[in-house]
Amino acid sequence: MREHALFNMSSGPVQGSARTLRALSQQILYHHDPEFAEIFDACTGKLQRFFKTSGDVIIMQGEALLGLEAAAFCTIEPGDKCLNLVSGIYGHLYAWYIEAFGGQIVEVRTDYNKAIDPADVEKAFAENPDIKIMAVVHSETPSGTVNPIEELCPIAKKYGAITIVDAVSSIGGTEVNVDDWGVDICCIGPQKCLASSPGLAPVAVSEDAWEKMRNKSKPVRYSYMSMLDFKEQWLCEKEKRSFPYTMFTNEVVALDDTLDQVFEEGLENMIARHKAAARMARAGVKGMGLSLWADSEEICGPCATAVKAPDGVDEVKLRRHLYDTYRITISGGFRDLKGKLFRLGHMGPTANPAYVAMQLAMVEKSLHDMGYPVKLGSGVGAALEAI
């Protein structure tokens, strides 16, 4: 076997529980067998609870980005005005999809260490009441910040727009209420707070979103990215239904078991555990004299804590040292943020005080090894005081 990190505290995919690993290693099922349909239905029902929706949930077979790209493809009519909210890298990248499928972009942008201000969104809609779609990222994983979806989506709904939310790294770590908040298309992945394997793209789809998809001049059908195919071929009468393509059966079995683990722990408890780990990580960062990337602690996310790279420290070398010497994986700055920050991960089983303490201790030790003036124990001590 290949040597891998003993502790994967990256920004995802993250290490799974022993039970999730066992679920992943079960016999491969035939997707047309009734036994698999039963598991798939059960998994879908659990996802509805997880999303807090009584609407439809589909499970697309691919990484989370498939759901996000498909959401744009299936809903955007060429020429549609689409409001794209950008407070980080995933928000910035969403413009690619909007453009690719012919949308006309209206952008509200803020610095990558801040969150979107609802007043700016209200203003954008007041100036462009014909906006048809709004896309927003809930938790901007690369910069460790969150946007106030609970305030942003109701503004869009007031103006009759369809809302597309990237909740990939927020769900399970903080509240996500699809129905109450007016989220029309909510895209997630199992590889962040759920800590399952990354091969699925569960998507919650509202009635308004289905209508928008059906009303396109050329509705997207017979495509791997078609959400309507799933609706019309699978979410129809039970006697007539069949999957639009082969399901990733092992991934579904694992996701289903992972969702059982969520509800055994209690979704609220799981969220509280992630928030506590994030609070502890922030206390540790400040305790060792480093600075949080985010402008204010209120907008710091539950899944990863972004830390400004200290002056004179190459964050790539710091992470390499952590990996080579202590076999810990953490994430760095991604794209525009390269070299500017590193991220402490706390998702899934590692959203736990022991993992956070160990991570802080070894970051301190690594900085110390690299000659950076940090008092050993200062960060981990502050973190322990905070719990």
Ligand X SMILES: *Cc1c(COP(=O)(O)O)cnc(C)c1O
53 belongs to the binding site for ligand X (CB under 6 A)? no
- Between 113 and 366, name the residue whose CB sits nearer to ligand X: 113
Applying CB under 6 A, among 64, 283, 285, 356 the residue interacting with ligand X is 64
- Between 75 and 141, name the residue whose CB sits nearer to ligand X: 141
> How far apart are the C-alpha atoms of 129 and 122, rounded to whole Å?
10
Scanning residues 171 to 200, which ones bind ligand X (CB under 6 A)?
A: 189, 192
Task: Please tell me the count of residues contacting ligand X according to CB under 6 A.
Answer: 13
Q: What is the number of the residue whose Cβ is closest to ligand X?
A: 141
Interface characters, 338-357, with ligand X (x: CB under 6 A): --------------------
Rg over alpha carbons for the chain, rounded to the nearest Å, is: 21
CB 153 within 8 A of CB 126: no
Applying CB under 6 A, among 7, 9, 10, 12 the residue interacting with ligand X is 12
- Between 138 and 321, name the residue whose CB sits nearer to ligand X: 138
CB of 181 to ligand X, least distance (A): 17
90 belongs to the binding site for ligand X (CB under 6 A)? yes
Partners of 303 in the β-ladder: none
- Between 198 and 289, name the residue whose CB sits nearer to ligand X: 198
CB 315 within 8 A of CB 347: no
CB of 364 to ligand X, least distance (A): 26
What is the SS3 assignment for 123? helix
- Name the segment binding ligand X (CB under 6 A); options: 47-55, 60-68, 152-160, 319-327: 60-68
For the chain, helix, strand, coil in percent to 5 are 45, 15, 40
Our measurement of the distance from residue 231's CA atom to the centroid of its chain's CA atoms, rounded to an integer in Å, reads: 23
Applying CB under 6 A, among 10, 84, 113, 141 the residue interacting with ligand X is 141
> How far apart are the C-alpha atoms of 323 and 326, rounded to whole Å?
6
CB 198 within 8 A of CB 13: yes
- Between 288 and 351, name the residue whose CB sits nearer to ligand X: 351
Closest CA to 333 of 112, 4, 93: 112
CB of 185 to ligand X, least distance (A): 14
- Between 63 and 175, name the residue whose CB sits nearer to ligand X: 63
Applying CB under 6 A, among 19, 36, 49, 63 the residue interacting with ligand X is 63
> How far apart are the C-alpha atoms of 344 and 18, rounded to whole Å?
22
235 belongs to the binding site for ligand X (CB under 6 A)? no
> How far apart are the C-alpha atoms of 205 and 188, rounded to whole Å?
12
Closest CA to 375 of 387, 386, 365, 360: 365
Burial class (CB within 10 angstroms; exposed 0-12, middle 13-18, buried 19+) of 102:
middle
Applying CB under 6 A, among 65, 95, 235, 358 the residue interacting with ligand X is 65
Complete edge-to-edge strand list for the sheet that includes strand 341-345: 304-308, 341-345, 331-332
Applying CB under 6 A, among 137, 259, 278, 288 the residue interacting with ligand X is 137
Omega before 13 within 30 of 0, i.e. cis: yes
- Between 145 and 366, name the residue whose CB sits nearer to ligand X: 145
Provide CB contacts within 8 A for 215, sequence distance 6+.
77
CB of 273 to ligand X, least distance (A): 19
- Name the segment binding ligand X (CB under 6 A); options: 57-65, 117-125, 275-283, 316-324: 57-65
| Amino acid type, 1 | M
CB of 238 to ligand X, least distance (A): 32
Binding site for ligand X (CB under 6 A): 12, 63-65, 90, 137, 139, 141, 166, 168-169, 189, 192
